[in-house]
Amino acid sequence: MCWYEQLDEKVREYLPDMTMEREVPLSKHTSFRIGGPARRLAFPANREQLVILMGLAESCGVKPFLLGRGTNLLVDDRGLDTLVIKTAEHMTAVRQLDEVTLEADAGILLNHLAVYAQQHGLSGLEFAHGIPGTLGGAICMNAGAYGGEMRQVVTEVTALLPEGVRRFTAEEAAFGYRRSAFLDTEAVVLGARLRLTPDDPAAIRRRMDDLMARRRQSQPLEYPSAGSTFKRPEGYFAGTLIEQTGLKGLTVGGAQVSTKHAGFVINVGGATSADVEELIRQVQQAVYAAHGVHLEPEVRIVR
């Protein structure tokens, strides 16, 4: 019996209320609208189900892939022969612990969390309102925009490790530029606590609306993408280097360097993962030849 047949049996026995689908095209679950089928795609409803599911997967000899909302990812067209776990569907609980502290599950969308904070008169997440990912993914990547970063507000992270569930302080989370202690490790972020600042809800809303307007004006939100394609090289801006190299509009198959913002590779229709990877390679090569700067992808390539 193969691993996914074993997993099917165990899920029926131990998690009968959890949704798990078979051979699901991940193009339907990624912001790039690219990706082949996942052998199994599960949607845990809460932290407890996720912890149990991880244990079941381990007992079947399979290492799951945490999808979150599927942003900042480029999934191979051939798909993933593993269990993919999407937290963004149901793991979205949030509550206010005291006057300045929120606790939320990893699957809550950042824009929903920012709106919740605004409605409760708490400032500090305005920058996150337009970031199209989950809290868990944002913590792993220390997501940021417009001068704000997750490390400015996260005070505690709860994560599942091979030895069990553990809480991490902000210092232990080791946040850096687009990285944390949870990135590319066996740790699975379950949720976090955030410390915010009391403020007038109307004033917070105005700041959020202003940042969203700036985002819409400057970014190609009308096309599928994974957000900023490259990390910011020290002393430069990736988009500026790409534009100065004359690469706006450069196209491979259905993938294109956005003519609106050169830091974004977009799917203009029918792009494959191979198209995007080749376009990234061409951009890296051209920018290095012109400026001597190596651009490191921010988008995670998953095979």
Residue 283's φ and ψ, nearest 5 degrees, are -65, -45
Catalytic status, residue 180: no
User: Which two tokens mark 196?
Assistant: 């915010």
pLDDT digits (tens, 9 = 90+) for 69-127: 999 999 999 999 999 999 998 999 999 999 999 999 999 999 999 999 999 999 999 99
What are the backbone angles phi and psi of residue 224, rounded to the nearest 5°? -65, 135
Note if 218 is an active site residue: no
This prediction's pTM: 0.93
Give the count of beta carbons closer than 10 Å to the beta carbon of residue 98. 7
pLDDT at res. 184:
83
pLDDT at 89: 84
- Taking only the tens place, the pLDDT of each residue in 169-194 is 999 999 999 999 999 888 999 999 99
In this prediction, residue 290 carries a pLDDT of 97
Angle at 287 between CA 281 and CA 288, to 5 degrees: 90
pLDDT < 70 positions in the chain? none
Which residue is catalytic, options 27, 123, 180, 228?
A: 228
Active site residue 178: yes
d(CA 127, CA 297): 22
pLDDT score for 280: 98
Angle 150-301-41 from CA coordinates, rounded to 5°: 85
Catalytic residue of the set 89, 103, 278, 298: 298
Identify the residue whose tokens are 């990234």: 280
Residue 5, classed as helix, strand or coil, is helix
Total residue count of the chain as it appears in this document: 303
- Exposure string of 170-209, with b = 16+ CB inside 10 Å and e = fewer, is beebebeebebbbbeeebbbbbbbbbbeebeeeebeebbe
Q: Which of 178, 180, 232, 273 is catalytic?
A: 178
Beta carbons of 187 and 32 less than 8 angstroms apart: no
Report the mean per-residue pLDDT for the chain: 96
Q: Is the dihedral of CA 28, 29, 32, 35 positive or negative?
A: negative
Nearest to 249 by CA among 279, 221, 225: 279
Q: Is 21 helix (H, G, I), strand (E, B) or coil?
A: strand
CB atoms within 10 A of CB 114: 22
